[in-house]
Structure 1
Amino acid sequence: MDEKRGLLPDPLISSNGRQVTTVEDWRVFRRSEIIELYRENVYGREPIGRPDSMQFDVVLEEVAFDGKALRKQIDIVFSGQGGEGRVRVLLYIPIRETKVPAFIYAAIKSQRVFDVDLEECSDFWPAEDIVSRGYAAVVFHVEDLDPDFCDEGYQNGVHGVFDSTDQPRSADAWGAMSAWAWGASRVMDYLESDPLIDSQRVAIVGYSRSGKACLWAGAVDERFAFVISNNSGCSGAAISRGKTGERLVNINRGNPHWFNDNYKKFNDREDELPIDQHLLLSLIAPRLLYVASASEDKWADPESELLGLFLAQPVYLLHGHSGLGMDKMPPVNSPIHSERLGYHLRAGKHDITRYDWKCYMDFADKQL
């Protein structure tokens, strides 16, 4: 499956050649090393974790779905030297006697979820379907963290709130992807405080560009029990070396604000990367991980997305969990669900659909 991909870094061999043979070695040495490589070369360094100033403002709380759920809007408010920031979070929570697990969806530009009828967003965020399966449906908009347009000065969003103005921006400073991932963790902060939510069973779901960000969020924030990449493609789940469709040069020139400046050094030089995306996926082990592709999504390159998942398996095996049990692309609409890993190739184009959500919830029903 990987014969044409060239030499890929081994998730279980450190940069100095040390072989990782135990879970302790993985956690103490290799995992932290991989995170540092991504911060230096891809995602950048966020200047702050959970802000001391952060608070949760209840904007709305009412019964929904004929009394079957509670609808809430929470504004996560924080401040820094550059002013104040705000992330809106919408929740539909099944009314149960016990706490419920949750799916967080990171909505992207053009996916309106606030101040619209639910039917308008049900294809990409089927809240009523999610609630009917016993999960809380949670959504935030990545543009609340960074408005997703090229701004060389990074004066908007959380960058404007928290970045230092006393010195020039460094080549490893955080970009939009890290800002969006940082926002996902702030949503998780809120869910930990909500008495209706089982914060030990929370999934984070991203599609396309937010799928890239959610993988990084799931890699560095181990509170997410289940991480889902939907059509995340280049710099998401897909292996960069030998990839068809979108490549690093396309991303870095078309969306230079997404990643740090160091990443641009590898345009048309993917073989020189000290990492590749299977290492990102391996950081999620031993938690639940699901990658989904679409048969017509050539720009994302489904084969490279599956390869990224396939090559992360050794770390799951190290933790004592089974792999996918297959080494080639499955037929369309035929999900592969193993103990901790899931994959499907949906028929159709670049999108997130109710079919995708059904597959994620089917997997969660068994494993989460």
Structure 2
Amino acid sequence: MAATAEDRSREINYDESKVGTYVLPDPLAFADGTPVKSPEDWTARRRPELAKLFESQMFGRLPEAARAVKPRCVVTSEAKDALSGKAARRLVDIHVGDDPAAPAIHLLVYLPANLEPGRRVPTFLCLNFWANHAIADEPGIPLSTRWIGSGAPAGVVDNRATEKARGSDHMIPVERILARGYAVATAYYGDIEEDHAGAMKNGVRGLFLRPGQVEPAADEWGAIAAWAWGLSRAMDYLEAAPDVDARRVALMGHSRLGKTALWAGVNDPRFAIVISNNSGEGGAALSKRNYGETIEHLNTSFPHWFCGNYKAYTGRPDALPFDQHEEIALIAPRPVLVVSAEEDRWADPKGEFLAAKAAEPVYKLLGTDGLGLDTWPTPAIDSLSRGTIGYRYRPGKHDVTVDDWVAYMDFADHHWNIRR
């Protein structure tokens, strides 16, 4: 008989003495056990081998039709005097299919005001949870008509937005980001696929089903892979935008969207920096470490997030042929920043740090400095480390704060040699 939600909650461990022992797979060993000895070994053989493993057993592979998509990007609105003159605002519809009923990704872009002609600015790209109208209280941003999940900050009735939802999302402090000289690009993750188990038919995964197919195969993409695919379609637009420095696009994601950002970073080398904020199980935290959220919880509460093959590891984390330090390693040698919060025990902050540390040998093999920390730091607002693998451990809960954004921008400044 399946365990109830109450039973599962009792099984969650928050006691370090009960973590137990576990063995992490070596990212620098081929599947046959032979060692990876050179950067060429990693790039040509081990990295593809490992990426394929994550794809087939966790996130799911993309259908060939999705891989072949060339999106059609249409600028639908531009305002030079947005945010009381502090910004230029651009709305872009990214069409990923020819069917008029196919979902479109609505990208909201804010640029610093009065950019000189020909100037290209570094940009932060992120998906948002509550739709674009919640990012800023501006009537020029259309109210989303998509399903919006429970937990929205304000103005959502029966999973639909009302006018009261405008400007209700605090997670992207646009004006603070613009003041540092960065642009912001964001889209609602529900434009790509809504976040509930029955949403596939209305999202991009439904769009790419083969004739006669009613659901993805066991090794085909789950929702997280679909959201990551959508981020790459947003990058397709940013790469062509005349005022975006496409060589300096930092990808940020929080919680489930932090899991998404990591997988998007693995698959798309155009993201110059990848930032995981409180991504936890299935994100930056080690799965084999018995602490906080579990694979069982992911597959029970969010069965649509990962591919069908991932269900085989429910209650069996020791059977996983990989762990999350290897996903971080797949982003190497590009900078990656892992951010943890002291009160967010569900996401296992220590497990996030240990995963970042265990990815270090790959970064060092590729000639970078890796994490550069040997011990888990105490939480402090200014605890940001700026190695090629960065780590920040702050007080507080599962959230995105203004101080987090200051850290993201400090990290980007450092790695892009931006002097203030």
Indicate the SS of the match to 1:42. Answer: helix
In 2, Cα distance between equivalents of 1:260 and 1:99:
38
The residue type equivalent to 1:311 in the other structure is: A
Indicate the SS of the match to 2:172. Answer: coil
Extract unaligned runs of 5+ from structure 2: 1-15, 139-165
Q: Are positions 1:225 and 2:247 aligned together?
A: no
Indicate the SS of the match to 2:96. Answer: strand
Whether the 8 Å CA contact 2:194–2:200 is kept in 1: the answer is no
Which position in structure 2 is the counterpart of 1:104? 125
Whether the 8 Å CA contact 1:230–1:291 is kept in 2: the answer is yes
The residue type equivalent to 1:101 in the other structure is: P
In 2, Cα distance between equivalents of 1:129 and 1:164:
45
2:206 aligned residue (160, 163, 166): 160
Q: CA deviation at 1:320?
A: 1.1
Which position in structure 1 is the counterpart of 2:46? 30
Which position in structure 1 is the counterpart of 2:362? 315
Whether the 8 Å CA contact 2:109–2:185 is kept in 1: the answer is yes
Q: Are positions 1:114 and 2:120 aligned together?
A: no
Q: Are positions 1:334 and 2:382 aligned together?
A: yes
Cα distance per residue 1:11-49 (max 9 Å; x no partner): 110101121121111011010011100111000011122
Single out whichever of 209-218 and 113-122 deviates more from structure 2.
113-122
Q: CA 1:362–1:218 in structure 2 vs 1: closer, same or farther (change >3 Å)?
A: same
The residue type equivalent to 1:117 in the other structure is: D
Q: Are positions 1:362 and 2:410 aligned together?
A: yes
Whether the 8 Å CA contact 1:80–1:162 is kept in 2: the answer is no
In 2, Cα distance between equivalents of 1:69 and 1:160:
36
In 2, Cα distance between equivalents of 1:263 and 1:182:
19
The residue type equivalent to 1:103 in the other structure is: F
1:73 aligned residue (68, 91, 102): 91
Which position in structure 2 is the counterpart of 1:15? 31
1:235 aligned residue (254, 278, 282): 282
Which position in structure 1 is the counterpart of 2:57? 41
1:88 aligned residue (86, 98, 106): 106
Whether the 8 Å CA contact 1:82–1:161 is kept in 2: the answer is no
Q: CA deviation at 1:79?
A: 1.1
1:188 aligned residue (235, 260, 284): 235
Which position in structure 1 is the counterpart of 2:143? none
Which position in structure 1 is the counterpart of 2:77? 60
Q: Tell which structure's C-alpha radius of gyration is larger.
A: 2
Supply the RMSD in Å over aligned alpha carbons: 1.9
Q: CA 1:260–1:231 in structure 2 vs 1: closer, same or farther (change >3 Å)?
A: same
The TM-score with structure 1 as length reference comes to 0.94
Q: CA deviation at 1:80?
A: 5.8
Cα distance per residue 1:100-129 (max 9 Å; x no partner): 110001112xx3432651793563001111
Q: CA deviation at 1:323?
A: 2.5
The TM-score with structure 2 as length reference comes to 0.83
In 1, Cα distance between equivalents of 2:301 and 2:21:
25
Indicate the SS of the match to 1:18. Answer: coil
In 1, Cα distance between equivalents of 2:274 and 2:68:
20
